[in-house]
Amino acid sequence: MEFRWLTRKELTQIENIDRKELIEEVYYVRDQELKLVKEYYDIEGWLPSELALYTQRLTSIFDRDGVIIGAFDKDILIGIVSLESYLIDGKTMKLDMLYVSHDYRKKGLGRRLVDIISQEASELGAKELYISATPVRNTVDFYLRLGAELANPPDIYLFELEPLDVHLILPI
Residue range 12-25, pLDDT digits in tens: 999 999 999 999 99
pLDDT of residue 140: 98
Q: Are strands 166-171 and 128-133 parallel, antiparallel or unpaired?
A: antiparallel
Q: Among residues 155, 4, 160, which one has the least CA distance to residue 87?
A: 155
> How many domains, in total, are found in the chain?
1
Query: Does pTM top 0.85 for this prediction?
Result: yes
Do 70 and 104 form a contact (C-beta atoms < 8 A)?
no
Instruction: Identify the CATH number of the domain in which residue 29 sits.
Output: 3.40.630.30
95: domain range?
A: 2-171
Do 8 and 61 form a contact (C-beta atoms < 8 A)?
no
CA distances to 62, 77, 105, 109, 125 from 116, in Å: 17, 16, 17, 11, 15
All residue ranges of the chain with pLDDT < 70 are: none
